[in-house]
Amino acid sequence: MHRIVIDVMGGDFAPQNPIEGAVLALEEYQDIEICLVGPEQVIAQELQRYPDCPRERLRIVHASEYITMEEAPGIALRRKKDSSIRVGLELVKKGEADAFISAGNTGAVMGGSLLYLKTMPGVAKAAIATFLPTLSGTSIMLDVGANVDCRPEHILQFALMGNSYARYVLNKPAPTVGILSIGEEDSKGNDITRQTFRLLNECSLIDFRGNVEGKEVYKGVVDVIACDGFTGNIALKVSESLAYMISTMLKEELGRGWFNKLGAVLSVKALKRLKKRLDYTEYGGAPLLGVNGAVFISHGSSSPQALKNAFRAARIYVERGVNQHIYDDITKTFAQLNHIENNGQV
């Protein structure tokens, strides 16, 4: 039985959406137990809406405080010792739970994970991975915001962690990996990118395909795109802004005049299929890779369905031992690189 914690007070629609998402997950996945963390009275009142919920696999843990989206993460974590984020992460730390999900303050979830869970042995920095819809399916990019300043060995670790996630959670048996850069040639990019290219080229555990230009990202040329958190976050935010602009302009144009409206009606099935392909809720949340435990950071506006899918991802992550695979791959890779370096081959 996999034990998964959810921060009931996290997100724009808390506690309704987190609790409904948990109920949906309990109904669909028979091999999980869920712990709802938040104000006990609030949780009990909300659960009255679900009289048929399987309570035998549901646990409530009281947390008297919660961190809002607007609060500074560091200050809030220090001041609010009984926040739902801290209490939930402490359950994972103590071994009372296997995974933690929150649609709350991203900085607080990330900071709390590093503070209470720490990084795994051998992992220098944790990384946030995000999912990108592409012409060939789905790619993941990491890091997208956890680390502004990175060294080549950090990005190498991000690539290894993304490779494990793609293989064992996204069911890609032989993931391809690339580095986000300004040109395809190995000479392109800054010093860190070029050094990372060299390290990845020496790594026998991944299928490294070289540099990936920005214009290639959504073509799906690789399954895993590694980069530092500064570059990754800019790429992610630009993508989100572009998607919003296209969506807004499309709605405006389709609603302009009877001919366009007729076209919209005739295209409704195609538009629904397109929306499904681009729907972030399918993945539930962004995994924070490299910490001692499974942590998933969901979008603040996550629907109950999206949060149910976060439980699915957390369940698969735990069941398939992704952290152990990450540890093994990082240990083997750095042992191999040290051997090569000691023998003067690099």
- Angle formed at CA 30 by CA 175 and CA 307, multiple of 5 degrees: 60
The pLDDT confidence band at residue 241, using thresholds 50, 70 and 90, is confident
Mean pLDDT to the nearest integer, 179-195: 87
d(CA 133, CA 118): 31
pTM of the predicted protein model = 0.89
136-145, 213-222, 278-287: least confident range:
278-287
User: What are the backbone dihedrals phi and psi of residue 78, each rounded to the nearest 5 degrees, phi first?
Assistant: -75, -40
For the four alpha carbons of 54, 59, 63 and 69, in that order, the dihedral sign comes to negative
The pLDDT confidence band at residue 246, using thresholds 50, 70 and 90, is confident
- For 266-302, the pLDDT digits (tens) are 555 655 655 555 555 666 789 999 999 999 999 888 9
Give me the pLDDT at residue 346, please. Answer: 47
Closest alpha carbon to 142 in 98, 175, 95, 96: 175
On the question of pLDDT at 338 being above 80, the answer is: no
Which residue did the predictor score with more confidence, 81 or 342?
81
CB atoms within 10 A of CB 127: 31
* Percentage of residues in the chain having pLDDT higher than 90: 68
Give me the pLDDT at residue 53, please. Answer: 87
Mean pLDDT to the nearest integer, 2-22: 95
The pLDDT confidence band at residue 173, using thresholds 50, 70 and 90, is very high
d(CA 42, CA 284): 24
Question: Chain-wide mean pLDDT for the chain?
Answer: 88
Look up tokens 């695979």; give the residue.
Answer: 325
Which residue did the predictor score with more confidence, 138 or 165?
165
User: What structural domains does the chain harbor?
Assistant: 1-123+290-322 (3.40.718.10), 126-282 (3.40.718.10)
